[in-house]
Structures are given as structure tokens and as C-alpha cells.
């Protein structure tokens, strides 16, 4: 049983997504929703935890809100690394951040000040790995990116499971959906 599951992964630009209306984004979101639901069912996950980072985290937050609205017993916690994280987001991402944080069951800040140092991001990774039971990470080691920092924090904890989701998992989700249509 994992009471709390940290969800993270690539930022939008690392996946080639440069706008919220990207053609492939609905498939990414649906694959995330399926993977989160599988964890809820398999491990009795009660809380999905994100830091509100643009990309996989906000999309996972959005999908968690949808699962809750569909009746799944899951709650969403957003633990942002610092005040005003969303200030540098493009307008569409800022709107998604505001939607997700307004729908979250719990919202707080890890460091209670605006951004002033990369140390705040390292603290975020360590804090969230320490405070959760496992992590769902959209990451492929052959495609380097920012998720490696969460991975490194998790690997320092010998008893911390990492559940990987790869771009191939998203492709499989798309193929299965297409098979359903045929």
C-alpha cells in the first residue's frame, strides 16, 4: 500500500509540447490518467502529490481532479517549491496551474518565499521524496531531462519505489485506444 504517490516527469518542452493545444497532449494526459488509476487500484493510493511544475505534474494534477470527480477516492496535494512559481509560466499553463491548485485538497509551499536559489528546487525534490511512499515518474533514461533530479533523490532512499512510465507506455496507450476504435 502506498498512501501517497509523488507524480512527476518531463516539462512540456522536453516532450516537444509547446502549447496546451498540442495534438498529442490529450494522449499524454489520458495515459497519465490510466497509470494513476492503475496505482490507485493496485496500491490503494489515497493522495497524489505534485509540486505544480509545468508539464507532467500539472497534467497529472488535472487528471487526478478528473478521477476524483468520477468518484475515485483520491486526493490531490500540491506542494510548490516557492511562492509565485507560476509567475513565469505562459498564460495557458498559468491558467492550468490556477485550476489545479484551486481544486487541490491541500496546497502549501515548501519554502515560504519567492524563488531565490536553485537550492529550493533540490530541497523540493528531497522533501517530496521523503514525504511520499512511492513515485510515478514519466522518464526514459535514454532521453535525459529534469526528471533525473527526482530520480536521483529517490535513489538515495533505498526503500523508495519508483514506478516508471515511459514514452513507449504513452504510445501503447494510443495504440490500444486506436484498436478500440477499429
* 123-157 pLDDT, tens digit each: 999 999 999 999 999 998 888 899 999 999 999 99
Using pLDDT thresholds of 50, 70 and 90, give the confidence band for residue 97: very high
What is the three-class DSSP state of 19? Answer: coil
31 contacts 154 by C-beta, under 8 angstroms: no
Mean pLDDT of 54-69: 97
> Which strand (E) or helix (H) includes residue 129?
helix 119-131
What is the three-class DSSP state of 140? Answer: strand
Mean pLDDT of 27-37: 94
Question: In the prediction, which pLDDT does 15 show?
Answer: 81
* 158-177 pLDDT, tens digit each: 899 999 998 888 888 778 77
Q: How many CB atoms lie within 10 A of CB 156?
A: 11
For 12, which DSSP code? G
pTM for this predicted structure: 0.93
Using pLDDT thresholds of 50, 70 and 90, give the confidence band for residue 22: low
Mean pLDDT of 36-40: 97
Question: In the prediction, which pLDDT does 171 show?
Answer: 85
Mean pLDDT of 38-60: 97
* 72-82 pLDDT, tens digit each: 999 999 999 99
**What mean pLDDT is reported for the chain?**
92
Using pLDDT thresholds of 50, 70 and 90, give the confidence band for residue 19: low
Residue 182 has pLDDT above 60, yes or no: no
Domains, the chain, ranges and CATH?
A: 4-181 (3.40.50.450)
* 107-127 pLDDT, tens digit each: 999 999 999 999 999 999 999
Q: Which residue has the higher pLDDT, 23 or 15?
A: 15
Q: How far, in Å, CA of 93 to CA of 18, rounded?
A: 10
Amino acid at each position: 500500500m502506498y498512501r501517497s504517490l509523488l507524480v512527476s516527469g518531463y516539462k512540456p518542452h522536453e516532450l516537444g509540447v509547446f502549447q496546451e493545444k498540442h495534438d498529442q497532449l490529450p494522449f499524454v494526459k489520458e495515459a497519465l490518467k490510466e497509470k494513476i488509476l492503475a496505482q490507485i487500484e493496485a496500491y490503494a493510493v489515497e493522495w497524489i502529490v505534485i509540486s505544480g511544475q509545468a508539464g507532467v505534474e500539472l497534467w497529472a494534477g488535472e487528471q487526478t481532479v478528473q478521477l476524483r470527480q468520477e468518484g475515485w477516492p483520491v486526493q490531490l496535494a500540491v506542494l510548490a517549491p516557492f511562492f509565485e512559481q507560476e509567475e513565469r509560466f505562459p498564460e495557458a499553463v498559468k491558467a492550468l496551474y490556477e485550476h489545479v491548485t484551486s481544486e487541490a485538497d491541500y496546497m502549501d509551499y515548501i519554502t515560504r518565499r519567492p524563488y531565490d536559489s536553485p537550492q529550493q528546487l533540490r530541497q523540493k525534490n528531497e522533501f517530496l521524496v521523503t514525504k511520499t511512499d512511492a513515485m510515478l515518474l514519466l522518464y526514459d533514461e535514454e532521453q535525459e531531462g529534469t526528471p533525473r533530479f527526482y530520480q536521483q533523490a529517490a535513489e538515495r532512499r533505498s526503500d523508495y519505489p519508483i514506478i516508471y512510465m515511459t514514452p513507449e507506455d504513452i504510445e501503447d496507450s494510443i495504440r490500444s485506444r486506436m484498436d478500440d476504435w477499429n
